[in-house]
């Protein structure tokens, strides 16, 4: 039983307000920390538990079956959980996603057994899980929209906004190539569009860094 966990839950998961559930999380949960860039879970690995993010920002991507190209699914920040992982461990199947820490991050891992039991015992847990499924689903559909309908310039802008939100900072630390990968675009196209944004005065470009204005 880890009292630190209780305060994390109170801070970031207000919905999970039953004291006995909070105690359950504090007893069953394990805190894990990841450095920026560190891979939390890779393709093909078994998921040992449900992750509750308490600090930082997690990037969730999926790898294409044929090629080894990636699709960015979404970012997770404090107060959120990964529904994909959730269903993975419910179904006891291998992960088809990869999660990496975008920033230094802290996560509470809830072993499957508890996550599952609580679905019947705690309405608030059940609700939390359902709500989280729902919002992940919404995210996915929005991403779909975006890829289907929008042109690169708008997608890039949306992406910069999303990342800035996930980090809660106005500067984004990565190379044009990395951004191009996330958007499934060419590095040149991204460089040119970023230049345009810079000319418009929306951003400032530095090496390995983009500052939103």
Partner DNA sequence: ATTTGAATGTGATTTAAATCACCGATCCTA
Partner DNA sequence: TAGGATCGGTGATTTAAATCACATTCAAAT
Residue 65 touches which member of a copy of itself, DNA, none, C-beta under 5-8 Å by kind: a copy of itself
Q: How far apart are CA 174 and CA 137, in angstroms?
A: 27
| Helices marked H in 73-122 | 83-91, 112-121
The residue (of 149 and 200) whose beta carbon lies closer to a copy of itself is 149
At 150, list the tokens.
């929008």
The residue (of 28 and 194) whose beta carbon lies closer to DNA is 194
Residue 92 touches which member of a copy of itself, DNA, none, C-beta under 5-8 Å by kind: none
Q: Would you give the binding string for DNA spanning residues 145-184, x where CB under 7 A is met?
A: ------xxx---------------------xxx------x
Interface pick for DNA out of 192, 202, 211, 212 (rule CB under 7 A): 192
Interface pick for a copy of itself out of 184, 186, 196, 208 (rule CB under 8 A): 184
According to the binding rule CB under 8 A, does residue 61 interact with a copy of itself? no
Q: How far apart are CA 84 and CA 43, in angstroms?
A: 12
Which 8-state DSSP code applies to residue 211? E
Strand ranges of the sheet holding 57-63, from the earlier edge strand across to the other edge: 39-41, 97-101, 57-63, 70-77
Strand partners, 184: none
Interface pick for a copy of itself out of 1, 137, 204, 213 (rule CB under 8 A): 137
Number of residues that bind DNA (CB under 7 A): 20
According to the binding rule CB under 8 A, does residue 152 interact with a copy of itself? no
According to the binding rule CB under 7 A, does residue 87 interact with DNA? no
Q: Which of 181, 163, 175 is nearest to 71 (CA)?
A: 181
Q: How far is the CB of 174 from a copy of itself (least distance, A)?
A: 19
Q: Give the contacts of 184 (CB within 8 A, at least 6 positions apart).
A: 69, 70, 71, 147
Between CA 96 and CA 100, with CA 99 as vertex, the angle to 5 degrees is 150
Strand partners, 62: 71, 97
Residue 131 touches which member of a copy of itself, DNA, none, C-beta under 5-8 Å by kind: a copy of itself
- Alpha-carbon dihedral angle through residues 134, 139, 144, 149, given to the nearest 10 degrees: 120
Residues engaged in binding a copy of itself (CB under 8 A): 62, 64-67, 69, 71, 73, 83-84, 87, 90-91, 96, 119-121, 123, 126-127, 130-131, 133-134, 136-138, 140-141, 143-145, 147-149, 184
Q: Which residues bind DNA (CB under 7 A)?
A: 151-153, 175-177, 184-189, 191-192, 194-195, 205, 207-209
């Amino acid at each position: 039983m880890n009292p630190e966990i209780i305060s994390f839950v109170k801070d970031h998961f207000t919905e999970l307000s039953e004291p006995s559930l909070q105690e359950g999380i504090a007893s069953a949960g394990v805190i894990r920390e990841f450095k920026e860039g560190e891979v939390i879970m890779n393709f093909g690995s078994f998921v040992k538990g449900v992750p509750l993010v308490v600090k930082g920002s997690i990037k969730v991507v999926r790898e294409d079956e044929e090629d080894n190209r990636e699709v960015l699914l979404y970012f997770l920040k404090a107060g959120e959980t990964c529904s994909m992982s959730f269903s993975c461990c419910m179904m006891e199947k291998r992960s088809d996603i990869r999660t990496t820490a975008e920033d230094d991050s802290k996560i509470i891992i809830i072993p499957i057994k508890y996550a599952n039991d609580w679905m019947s015992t705690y309405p608030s847990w059940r609700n939390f899980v359902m709500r989280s499924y729902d919002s992940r689903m919404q995210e996915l559909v929005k991403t779909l929209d975006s890829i289907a309908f929008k042109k690169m310039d708008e997608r890039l802008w949306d992406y910069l906004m999303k990342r800035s939100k996930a980090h809660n900072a106005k500067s984004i630390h990565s190379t044009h190539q990395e951004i191009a990968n996330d958007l499934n675009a060419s590095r040149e196209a991204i460089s040119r569009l970023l230049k345009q944004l810079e000319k418009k005065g929306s951003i400032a470009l530095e090496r390995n860094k983009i500052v939103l204005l």
